[in-house]
Each structure stands twice: as C-alpha cells, then as structure tokens.
A = this chain, B = another copy of it.
Amino acid sequence: MNRTLNKKRRRRSIIAFEMIRLDRTADEPLYQQLYRQIRDELVSGNFDSNSSRLPSSRTLAADLGVARLTVKLAFEKLHAEGYLRARTRSGTFVADSLPETFLSPRQPKTEPQIVRAARLSDRVKDIPDKRVGKQFDLGIAGAPGVSFVPALAALDEFPIEVWERLRAQVLARKGAHLLQYASSHGDPDLRKAIAAYLSDFRGARCHPDQIVVTAGTQQAMMISAMALVNRGEVAWIEDPGFYQARRAFGFAGATVVPRPVDEEGIVIGRPSKERSPKIIYVTPSHQFPLGMTMSLARRTALIDFAQTHDAFIFEDDHNSEFRFTGPPLPCLQGLDNSGRVIYAGTMSKILYPSLRLGYILAPEQLVEPMIKIRAVMDQHSSAIDQATLARFLDEGFFLSHIKRMRKLYSERREFFIEEFNTLLSEHFLLQIPEAGLHFVAWLRQKTDLPLITRVCAEVGIRPSPLSSCFIKAELNPALTFGFAAWSRAQIREGLFKFASALKRNGVTHSCPSS
C-alpha cells in the first residue's frame, strides 16, 4: 500500500525529478547539488502548476538512490530560503510566492552598452603610478613561499585563537549593541587603552579624547591632509619616502614638495613664504625606507620649525616597536608642547594588516575636525573589532605579542644578515638599520640593476626597488628586502636560490674583500 501511495504522490509531484542528475565525484556536496537543481526548476517556472506538492524525502531519497538526510538538507535549505513551505502532516509544498518573484524578476540582458568616456576628476588623474590599487591584487598577499616583499609580518605567529576568544567574550557581553552604528571618534575603551600604551611605552603626552580611531595609517594620513590642506598648499615629504604618503597628501590637494634626508633625518632648510609647508610627513623612529632614527637635535629643530612656520608634523611611528639595538627614543609627539604633532600608529604590523585598525593621537584642536571627516568619509570602524582590540590591549596580550615578535624578528634578522652577507656580499652592500622589518641592499655595480631585476622575477622573489620610494632623490640603485615573514629555512632557501641564479646569469663580481 505504501508503494502505491508513493507512486501516486510521485505522479502528482510538481517537479520532473527524472531530470535531476547528481554527480558523486563533484566537489559540491550532494545535498547542495540537489538543492540547486530543485531551485533552478522552481525558478524557471518549468513545472506542473496543477500541484505544488513535493514527494516525501523518503520517496525522493529512494528514487535518487541517496541518503534521506541528503534530501532533508536540501529541503531545509529551500525552506529556509522561502522556496518551500511545510504543512504539518500533509507534506512539503512549493511556497506561494517564490523569493525570486518576491524580490524581483530576473532581467533579460540587453544589447551592449554605448559608453562615452567619463570625465574624471583631476585628483584621480593626478594619483601617481597607475599600479596603485593593483599592488595588492598582484599577489603580495597570496604569494606562497619566500618573496622578501618588504613590510610583511609573520602573520602565522599571530595568536588568532586568543583574538577569536576575546571576540566571543565581547560579543557575549555587549551583544547586539556591538552591531549598531558606533562612534566616529572610536570605541572609548579602545581609546583609553591606546592612550595608556602611548604614554607608558612611547613617551607620548595624551588624553584618551585625543585618540581618533582610524582604519590604519593610510586613512590617518588622508584625514590629516583633508583637515589641514587646501588645494595648492604645501606638504613636505621625506625623499626617499613612503609612496603612500605622497599619494594621500597629493590626493587631498596638496602640492607635494620632496625634502632630502641625511643621517639625522629630514633636512629642514628655509622655505620661501609661499612654499612654507602646511604639513610635514616624517618617520622619526625609523626613516622609511632608509632606516635611520631621527636625531634629538633634528627633532627639536623640526618642532621649532613647525611652531615658527605654523605647520603641523605628521609623525608616522611605524615599526617603532620592532627595534633591535638600544633603547628607543620616545616619540616626537612627546617632545612637543605646542600641539604641532599629529602622531599616527597602526596595528597592521604589530597584529595583522587586514584588521584595518590604527589611530591618530591628535592635537586637541584637531580632534573635532578629524571626527567630522571620519563621519563624512566612512562613518567609523567595525565596533566588534574595536572592542576586541581594547580587550587584547587591556589583558596584556598586546605587550606579550610585541615582546614575542621582537624576539622572533631579532633572530630572523640576524640570520638574514649572516646568510645574505655570506651568499650575496659580492653583489650587494647590506645596510643594517636599528629597527624595522626590512633591509636596504645597495648594488655594488649600478649597471647590474636590469639583470638583477630579471633574476628576481625568474626565481620568484620580490624585493622592492628602492627607486619606488624616490620622488626627486637620485640615490644609487638598491633593493629592499623584507625578512620578518619567513622562517630561517625559507630565508636560507630564498637567498640561496637568488645567489645561484645570479651566478647562472653571469652576474659575478669579485668579492669586495679580494
């Protein structure tokens, strides 16, 4: 009798289940295949409209030769998405209105577009370097193995399980509140924790209200430039310097004036009144990319200059945490008693870049304008991430992670220096900075650059040409090598491969000592 009933139901079934083809060798789970095929049938409208009943999961499972659970999972999904409805005891039915029709009908695609070239804004046309925006798409992140790309951190060492545990805790404690719109100023607990860290460990002078949470240093630069610079006003940038700073200040309308650097840091000089800078971008802890620490004399001179010329200093304090020789100088901001320094820090190098969290420690009078800009630009940062970070700082994980990474990086750094000098000293002079996650390696023979660049591509490593940081600077050719993200074995393997390929390609020079 059961058998007869089944047949009956099957005859009245809405869909031609004979059409269903399940592929057991596919990656897609069976229930997902079944779900997809039923859904497509329903959406196509290609079914018997005299009935909306589906066969029971038992019948269908038997007919298709699959487990009943497979059918149940597919039905559940269709039900959750509104394609099916269940009537108690009387079976499963197609919903009266399918989600597709409920939302909107599928649109037929029409003829190709007739497009006129867009008149773009000048600021977009002025962004230097067409590659910007593509830089990370090109595989920095995805590159497997050792690439020596500068500025990569050892992310496999990040205690993501601790992070996720703290995240669960803040979600449990604050619940739906954390899902809501949040402050453009930043999470108060986080601002407090950052302010405490900066006073304790960076010698900064700050109150939590002076902290403005950002989506990283890039946004910190953009907000600062937007707050201060009118079109055509001058921004000084170290040259060589951080190319993203040049882009940010230029994008905000500033006339970017490159300033040379010497062993003490940015060279100040005496500008004419109309070339006097409104904002000065510097990296005092660790000049990017050359690695010098700005001297105390230069720091004081720079602050005096800013006071006299009514300028602001943007202190990008990247990598100050990763210093390997001697005690660090406190930050520039801590020396300033005239509210001229905008200090910016980021979690990208200490924790992980895709978190997109950083902060500005701003002079009091800039706080309110910066919050306004953040609100107009993109509102605020993820509230859950901010609350999690506050806990990560408060519970001491932040300091212990820095400490652990400093030790690891210190070992990798020494290993890199040793291996590099053993294998490659005939081609390069390695410059050893006190801090940071990369080295500058100067070519011993300037004319080798094209060949060396080709060899890098051949062996799949991607040290960055120093020239990508030049505006007007004309320094000798060099490559910058990141070392922090790879194990000693990987560093050895990468450098060995590189050295062998150089030899194979005929790049040989007598050892400088011979």
Contacts and interface: CB of A to CB of B under 8 A. Distances in A.
Interface of A: 77, 80-82, 99-107, 109-124, 127, 132-137, 140-142, 152, 155-156, 158, 160, 164, 168, 171, 175-185, 199-205, 214-216, 218-219, 222, 226-231, 244, 247-248, 251, 278, 307, 310, 312, 321, 327-330, 334, 337-339, 348, 352-356, 363-366, 368-369, 371-385, 396-397, 399-400, 402-403
A227 B123 CA distance: 8
Contacts of A329: 104
A107 B176 contact: no
B176 A124 contact: no
A15 to B, nearest CB: 19
A100 B381 CA distance: 29
Contact of A141 (B121, B137, B182): B182
Instruction: Name the residue among A158, A356, A383 with the largest chain B CB count within 10 angstroms.
Output: A356
A105 B354 contact: no
A140 B227 CA distance: 26
A352 B175 CA distance: 12
Q: Which 5 A-B pairs have the closest CB atoms?
A: A179-B352, A354-B383, A141-B180, A133-B375, A107-B203
A243 B171 CA distance: 31
A384 B354 contact: yes
Contacts of A321: 103
Contact of A104 (B113, B171, B201): B201
A150 to B, nearest CB: 12
Given A104-B330, A123-B226, A378-B378, A164 B171 contact: yes
Given A124-B369, A356-B378, A205 B114 contact: no
B228 A119 contact: yes
A113 B369 contact: no
Given A99-B399, A105-B330, A327-B104, A178 B120 contact: no
17 contacts: A103-B202, A104-B327, A106-B200, A106-B203, A116-B338, A118-B366, A119-B310, A123-B226, A124-B372, A127-B372, A132-B372, A141-B177, A142-B180, A155-B179, A179-B352, A219-B378, A382-B382
Contact of A134 (B123, B371, B380, B385): B371
A181 B372 contact: no
A353 B378 CA distance: 12
A182 to B, nearest CB: 5
A141 B124 CA distance: 35
A119 B278 CA distance: 9
Contact of A376 (B114, B244, B374): B244
